A and B are shown apart, each in its own frame.
Chain A
């Protein structure tokens, strides 16, 4: 049988060769998030011939994703991102194995997923999940290729590479970082560039060539074409054993109860319950409910006396991330019947608008 020339242009590079291609074919990479970053990382890993690629994303394709998540067709709007990506990259390279996980990454599934791969790529879009990925990488001893975006700037780093520094060594302050879960806005090329840096780091690690961004964070500004690298060190107090991980994530997640607003719609007329908005005063859309009350998350602990710990309280923020932290905080103060509203004010406003139209 004639040998395929698929990888010829890269195997003629002295840094790769047949041996490098063999390493790529044996590598297993798990990409968390098939959004803007994932849309850049995934096709390049597949094209290069990474032997096994996993994709974790429980989201479905929205038309507003397409300007930056350019691996999707307009006709795929409404379909699963993980499944669509699997189809796309399997067509690009049928020689590789692709696994799609249309599920939410959580304390319950993360360890068993990570154990099956060599490299974990963080292509997610929220801070809380970055800590989860980081901690699970520590427990399973896998390197984490981090990428993230703020408007026209991006960050890239590789954590826990050969026992190197981690995300917590760079950003130890977990809670205060999640004050804002609104979208800041982004253009496709910015996420594309950062995703490409991530794919590059993954491939370098597999091949064992070049310098991996371990202990360094690269900050890139696409408007100015400026990039800077900052060094950081491993902080020894931040080890995480499997038991610590289980305690932190699995007990937390079992406790924070999330509820869909549509199931409690009648409660907006019930004076016995309270809808607590933990957003800041200036956040839109306003949700005006007669049994509503607002305390921004940062003030919650100080103003906790304003709340009744025996009352049923439904907590919401903009998209459902800060409200979970608020639930956790109130639980520490012996509040019993509290739930976080899934999707936050954005989901609520949508439903309230529909109700009024009816």
Chain B
């Protein structure tokens, strides 16, 4: 089980601020992002990705571990 947090315009798209996801096989960060994109269609949105409070490359082949917390952080523009 991992937790995915959504912020800003990304959370508008997912209609939730976080969700818990379980996976049976080994799951890479890259695959998770692909799956989420398939589910929510982030296409036009830009965001950075953090794993356990650290921003990482979206193309990282990191294998997600149980209890990892992934966060999708889009830039904000208001002021």
Contact = CB atoms under 8 A, between A and B. Distances in A.
B79 A233 contact: no
B53 A127 contact: no
Contacts, number: 85
Contact of B48 (A38, A150, A170, A186): A170
Contact of B46 (A36, A151, A176, A183): A176
Interface residues on B, range: 20 to 34
Contacts of B44: 176, 179, 298
B15 interface: no
A155 interface: yes
A186 B45 CA distance: 20
Nearest to B5: A228
Contacts of A229: 53
Interface residues of A, number: 39
Contact of A153 (B48, B76, B79): B76
Interface stretch (A72-80, A103-111, A118-126, A335-343): A118-126
A176 B9 CA distance: 13
Nearest to B55: A232
Contacts of B8: 150-151, 153
A230 B54 contact: yes
A33 B79 contact: yes
Given A186-B78, A231-B55, 15 more contacts: A38-B79, A127-B77, A147-B79, A148-B75, A150-B78, A155-B75, A170-B75, A171-B46, A171-B75, A173-B46, A177-B74, A179-B44, A184-B9, A217-B55, A230-B73
The 7 closest A-B pairs by CB, nearest first: A149-B78, A232-B55, A148-B76, A125-B79, A150-B8, A150-B76, A177-B46
23 contacts: A35-B79, A123-B79, A124-B79, A125-B78, A127-B77, A148-B77, A148-B79, A150-B7, A150-B8, A150-B9, A153-B8, A173-B46, A176-B44, A177-B75, A179-B45, A183-B78, A191-B78, A217-B55, A229-B53, A230-B50, A230-B71, A231-B55, A233-B55
